[in-house]
Structure 1
Amino acid sequence: MNLQINNDCTVTLRPITEDESMLRSGLLLTTPELDELGSISHPAQRVEWLACRVAVQQLAEAQGMTYLGLEKDEFGKPHLIDSPWHVSLSHTIGWAAAVLHRVRPVGIDIEPIRDQFRRVVPRVLSEDEITHAAGDPNRLAVYWCAKESLYKLYGKRQLSFREHLHVEPFKDGAEQLIGHVRLPDHEEQLSVQCFRVGPGLLAVAF
């Protein structure tokens, strides 16, 4: 399934139905990517890792690009090789997602709605966000998914979800959210699109 967020931003979400050998067939992997895959021992994690790269390759080729693989910067953020497009990946059990943006950094996250979000509330949400969520699992999932997408967009470590990443209050079922990255030397307002899809929620920040 493809979602056209706007003229510059496209998302693909695909169920993972293939095994490892099927996913590797036709997939371009660079030597560093092969090394990274080799470091993953759990079979299910290997399949999810590969499925994300299949999603990116298919999405890039659908945009008319020659896909040359992914490379990571010093913070571990992925980039398309020899392309100005921005990319982000996410996966959960049984699903893989990828997003491309023509001009802006972008982040994506896909999550099932689950009760365990309640356990991470104190370290993820600000006091205002906790008040707004009011323990509702759907609102907690939106906050978590939106903040994960903001984290991936910013692409640098040592960000606190509670202190540095913020999502403005939203109406239940809202698809368009407003997010903020607030650091001592940097502040940025960002758009976050949030959709109910296959496994639960998908958020795209840009």
Structure 2
Amino acid sequence: MALVYLRELNPKTKFAIWKIEESAEELLGKLQLDDAEKLKLQQMSKGKRTLHWMATRVLLRYLLQTDQYIHCPSDNNGKPYLPDYPYKLSLTHSFEYAGVMLSTQGECGIDLEIVKNKVVRIKNKFLKDEELAFINPDPEIEILQLYACWCAKEAVYKLQGNKGVSFLEDMTIRPFTYKPQGVMYLDFTKDGISTTLEVYYEQFQNYMLGYAVE
């Protein structure tokens, strides 16, 4: 397993991306699991899903700099948390990479996606007409900007931690010009309460990365 990207956004927030190069057996050898986690692993289908789950936990161990057992359960909405540490937590994975974000500043969210053409086909399902209006029409830039928007909304979805939130109805990205690395502003409305979040995005090899913190 190789650390390929480590970034501190500020003294309270950091994230890391690892390339998964080990087998499931090698990853398992780096972990300490309780009975519930062992059962969860047994219930998973073998392959990438298992590797992703274990890789995020190995990376979490690296970021927390501990060789002790790390209790990392999920709440009723599936959001992971660390009851024994002061950090808020977000996990992500895509194909051969796994990522972890930690923050003592507030809730955080991170999303990593491999860039593929399929995002063009589903753009109307997660972007309003007013959002589509500022997407660059150049096909090469369009795909990247659409993925930046998707990762931004996914990061905010993870940050806020509630099921039933709609990318299309509850989140609106303000107009921005796409660059390989940048920031956008996202208006999030739920239960009549609106907030605006700064969401950072950047190209990472042939992937797109989005992340936000309260």
TM-score tier (shorter): over 0.9
- Give 2:208's aligned residue: 201
Match of 1:191 among 183, 187, 198: 198
| Alpha-carbon distance, 1:103 to partner | 2.5
| In structure 2, distance between residues paired with 1:45 and 1:132 | 35
Match of 1:182 among 189, 201, 204: 189
1:42 matched to 2:49: no
Match of 1:84 among 83, 86, 93: 86
May I ask how many residue pairs the two structures share in their alignment? 204
| In structure 1, distance between residues paired with 2:173 and 2:10 | 21
1:115 matched to 2:117: yes
| In structure 2, distance between residues paired with 1:121 and 1:50 | 31
Match of 2:144 among 109, 129, 138: 138
1:100 matched to 2:102: yes
Match of 2:172 among 166, 173, 176: 166
| Alpha-carbon distance, 1:195 to partner | 1.7
Instruction: Flag structure 2 segments of 5+ consecutive residues without an equivalent.
Output: none
| Alpha-carbon distance, 1:70 to partner | 0.5
Matches within 5 A, 1:20-39: 20-39=24-43
- Give 2:129's aligned residue: 127
Partner SS, residue 84 of structure 2 = coil
| Alpha-carbon distance, 1:198 to partner | 3.3
Q: For 2:29, give the aligned amino acid.
A: S
1:14 matched to 2:13: no
TM-score (norm 1): 0.92
Change (3 A) 1:28 1:185: farther
TM-score (norm 2): 0.89
Question: Retained in 2: the 8 A contact 1:167–1:177?
Answer: yes
Q: Percent identity?
A: 26
Change (3 A) 1:29 1:164: same
| In structure 2, distance between residues paired with 1:134 and 1:162 | 19
